[in-house]
Amino acid sequence: MAKPNILLTRIDNRLIHGQVGVTWVNHLGANLVVVANDKVANDEIQQNLMDMVLPDVISARYFSLQKTIDVIHKANPRQKIFLVVKDVHDALALKEGGVPIDKINVGNMHYEEGKKQISSTVSVDENDIAAFKRLHELGVKLDLRRVPGEKGRDIMGLL
């Protein structure tokens, strides 16, 4: 099995939006954005809205977590993949399913009741912390930053 050319994996509960669709895609030189999320994989309206944000030269695929696990290794080496997931649990499921994720950009996890804010854009609860710790144990580098030009921080030091 060939190793897919995954440039970066990003956790962002907004999935594809301006920051992801323009800033990160251009910074990485990606030509394909893969959104791995069970709900979005079956929501054509949300997919169409996200497609509008991307430049015409960038393709997007919307896969369930299992389909991502099943097909990511079949990616053409010319595909420069920016993998986007909604939360840390989706990222962990992919990693444990065999997707070769070495580094995760933690970009945005909205505040909700019961979560503590660890940065201006990231809030976590105990389940999130456990998932981040498991990813760390699996050797994944966890880099918290909103945009490419910002200095990244190791999320483990904030938990």
In a domain, 67, yes or no: yes
Domain of 60, CATH number, reads 3.40.35.10
Q: Cβ distance 81 to 2 under 8 Å?
A: no
In a domain, 111, yes or no: yes
pTM above 0.75, yes or no: yes
- Domain count of the fold of the chain: 1
Domain carrying residue 56: 6-157
Give me the DSSP letters along 111-135: --TT-EESSSSBEE-HHHHHHHHHH
125-135 tens-digit pLDDT: 999 999 999 99
pLDDT, average across residues 35-57: 95
In a domain, 135, yes or no: yes
Q: Is the pLDDT score of 1 beyond 80?
A: no
54-105 tens-digit pLDDT: 988 999 999 999 999 999 999 999 999 999 999 999 999 999 999 999 999 9
In a domain, 39, yes or no: yes
In a domain, 109, yes or no: yes
In a domain, 98, yes or no: yes
Q: Percentage of residues in the chain with pLDDT exceeding 70?
A: 99
Sign for the CA dihedral angle at 23, 29, 32, 36 comes to negative
Q: Is 17 a catalytic residue?
A: yes
Distance in angstroms (rounded) separating the CA atoms of residues 74 and 71: 5
In a domain, 136, yes or no: yes
Q: State the pLDDT confidence band at 2, using cuts at 50, 70 and 90.
A: confident
Q: Is the pLDDT score of 159 beyond 70?
A: yes
Which entry of 17, 27, 89, 136 is annotated as an active-site residue? 17
> Which residues does residue 60 pair with via DSSP β-bridges, in sequence order?
33
Q: State the pLDDT confidence band at 18, using cuts at 50, 70 and 90.
A: confident
The bridge status of strand 116-117 relative to strand 123-124 is antiparallel
In a domain, 1, yes or no: no
